[in-house]
Copies of this chain bind each other. A is one copy, B any other.
């Protein structure tokens, strides 16, 4: 199935000059949703994954589904102040300023085999911060899966050494 046909381009969102790749048109299509999950599962099903970590918010949508299908646990990586128990925090640079993500300290334990999932690989800052947090907790990241990769932003450069997949890749702006 050509999932790219289910992605909608939204010009000038969230700001002028950006063409936003909208995955909601894929998610609302039952065959598209199912095929996206199956394509990721085909890549990771034999890796012995024990936890799937999804990045808030869109990484939760397939994250929970992938965890259930892999008979793994689901771990939310969230924006600051959302998680109620003690957390590991990690900050990362944005174009202007910084952002922070958090994960419960007891979400992942030493020996956990982790799939990290998010909807979009752009500059890679969020994913790299998530890797740092997961490894601080003792998890081993065996795969990072994205729905969309904006290859022209070179996010993979920040994630060297990890096995990475994306279902849809855009090479130019």
Contacts and interface: CB of A to CB of B under 8 A. Distances in A.
B107 A73 contact: no
Nearest to A57: B57
A68 B24 contact: no
Interface residues of A, number: 42
How many copies the complex holds: the figure is 2
A37 interface: yes
Interface in A65-93: 65, 67-68, 71-76, 78, 81-85
Given A61-B74, A65-B65, A83 B24 contact: yes
* Interface hub of A34, A64, A82, A85 (most chain B Cβ within 10 A): A64
Contacts of A20: 84
Classify the interface of chain A: helix, strand, loop or mixed.
mixed
A27 B73 contact: yes
Interface string A47-64: 000110010111011111
A30 B71 contact: yes
Given A57-B56, A64-B62, A85 B28 contact: no
